Amino acid sequence: MQNDLSSKVLKILSDAYLFFRSHFKQVAALCLPFLFAATLVNFLLARNYQDAPMALFGPLMVNLLVYPLYTAALIHLMARRVLQERPKNGDLLIAAIRQWVPLLLLKTMLLLVIGLGFSLLVLPGIWLAVRLAYAEFHVVLSGRRPMDAVRASFVETRPHFFLILILLFATYVPITLLGMASDQLIQTVTTNDLFRVIGSTGWSFAGLYVTIVLFRAFTETVEVPGPAYPPGPREDER
């Protein structure tokens, strides 16, 4: 069983990496403008409201407002590529805008619930993060309401808890720690905030790999239309 789990983890990570690599330019064009804009606004708010509540709640609100757009666009891109389609970024963004409200509501709900879980000795927060890992895919791909997506995620992640847990620890944790270390290093080397904005944007972009990995796990463990795998590079794209 351990061998099966290990092989499945490696396969999911590998397939997600192949997707990220082969569609790097489109993912960058689709998501980087949003990530850079959000990071820049967050730094400006932190600088201008250092000791005010706005320094904390301002960036949170900015991230909440922007996150649904690039996340939904990325999910639509992965789903369309599963079907061997070649969607244009404009079409993906239009689809994302249509789902901005339900995904915003879901993300707000997840932040509150998972944040409460982490405040209760961390472990409940980790458990909730795993059990809610598929909720966004149901909102974007199935058009479900946030609460229905949460229920579906709870049902579908239960038999695959350890798989998703390992995937999160293998991706989210190191990317987050490396991003924090990189920011500290940049602050040590230079006082130019532009370098911090660029560095933070880069690590936020790297964090998209977590979404790609979870989508790959979703297609591996849940019956969805089309092939049960996210496409890596085809022979003519290598």
Q: Can you read off the two tokens belonging to residue 188?
A: 């040590």
Q: Is the pLDDT of residue 167 over 90?
A: yes
Q: pLDDT > 90: what percent of the chain?
A: 65
Residue-level pLDDT at 55: 63
Amino acid at 220: E
Could you give the C-alpha distances from 22 to 4, 30, 74, 116, in angstroms and in order?
A: 27, 14, 14, 38
Shortest CA distance to 220 belongs to which of 7, 8, 4? Answer: 8
Which pLDDT does position 133 carry in this prediction? Answer: 96
Task: Indicate if the pLDDT at residue 226 is higher than 60.
Answer: no
pLDDT of 228 > 70? The answer is: no
Residue-wise pLDDT for 4-28, tens only, equals: 888 999 999 999 999 999 999 999 9
Taking CB atoms within 8 Å and a gap of at least 24, the contacts of 114-120 are: none
Predicted confidence at residue 232, as pLDDT, reads 41
pLDDT reported for residue 87: 92
What is the model's pTM? 0.89
**Structural domain containing residue 23:** 2-237
SS3 91: helix
* CA quadruple 45, 49, 55, 60: dihedral sign: negative
- Is the confidence at residue 29, as pLDDT, over 90? yes
Instruction: Report whether pLDDT(234) > 80.
Output: no
Over residues 102-115, the mean pLDDT reads 91
Per DSSP, 121 falls in state T
Residue 224 pLDDT grade (very low, low, confident, very high; cuts 50, 70, 90) = low
Which among 3, 19, 7 is positioned nearest to 214, based on CA atoms?
A: 19
Residue 52, pLDDT > 80, answer no
Q: What is the full DSSP assignment across 139-183?
A: HHHH---HHHHHHHHHHHHGGGHHHHHHHHHHHHHHHHHHHHHHH
Query: Of 185, 178, 205, 183, which is closest to residue 196 (Cα–Cα)?
Result: 183
What mean pLDDT comes out for the span 74-99? 93
pLDDT at 238 over 50: no
Query: How many of the other CB atoms lie within 10 Å of CB of 70?
Result: 24
Identify the pLDDT of residue 82.
Answer: 87
Listed residue (151, 150, 64, 143) closest to 99, CA to CA: 143
Q: Quickly state the pLDDT bin for 68 (edges 50, 70, 90).
A: very high
Cα(86)–Cα(123) distance, integer angstroms:
41
Please report the pLDDT score of residue 183 as a whole number: 86
- In this prediction, what percent of the chain has a pLDDT beyond 70? 89
Judge contact between 58 and 121, C-beta under 8 A. no
Between 109 and 56, name the one with better pLDDT.
109
Mean residue pLDDT of the chain comes to 87
CA separation (Å) from 29 to 70, 88, 205?
A: 10, 11, 11
Residue 54 has pLDDT above 80, yes or no: no
Domain total in the chain? 1
pLDDT exceeds 90 at position 114: no
CA 77 to chain centre: 13
Least confident of 60-64, 77-81, 105-109, 116-120: 116-120
**Cα distance between the two ends of the chain:** 34
